[in-house]
Amino acid sequence: MKLGAFSISLSVKDIEVSRVFYEKLGFSVFAGSAEHNYYILKNGDALIGVFQGMFQGNILTFNPGWDQSAQLVPDFDDIRSIQQSLMKSGLEIDNPLDETQNGPASIIISDPDGNTILLDQHVSK
């Protein structure tokens, strides 16, 4: 199963304080803005998203169809086929999507300890 680019999405109290902290660790802003309450920061292939007021808790994020630079990957598993595989393996989808649709979509699952995993496809297959 090809899950795509991986990042951690952190719920933060102060977007600018978090940006400065991660920049001190060698990350630089790759996308987002304070105006939109999020930054995606990159250091090599490592991606961290900092989000203020958008969700609670931290989220493991995968982006089917993207590489670590948000560039389209020509051969990727569509979110609908990923959902089918996960369901066949016995995993519960928190927000199952309509598999008759196509294009961008997302699903959420939780690991055994309650950690949220977001599979967020931004591109069409």
pLDDT in tens, 8-53: 999 999 999 999 999 999 999 999 999 999 999 999 999 999 999 9
Helix (H) or strand (E) holding 23: helix 15-24
Q: Which CATH number characterizes residue 23's domain?
A: 3.10.180.10
How far is the C-alpha of 89 from the C-alpha of 57, rounded, in Å? Answer: 26
The answer to whether residue 125 scores a pLDDT higher than 90 is: no
- Number of structural domains (the chain) is 1
Backbone torsions φ then ψ of 19, nearest 5 degrees: -60, -50
Q: What are phi and psi of 113, to 5 degrees?
A: -100, 5
Which pLDDT score, from 0 to 100, does residue 86 have? Answer: 97
Residue span of the structural domain in which 41 resides: 5-121
Give per-residue pLDDT as tens, 80-121: 999 999 999 999 999 999 989 889 999 999 999 899 999 999
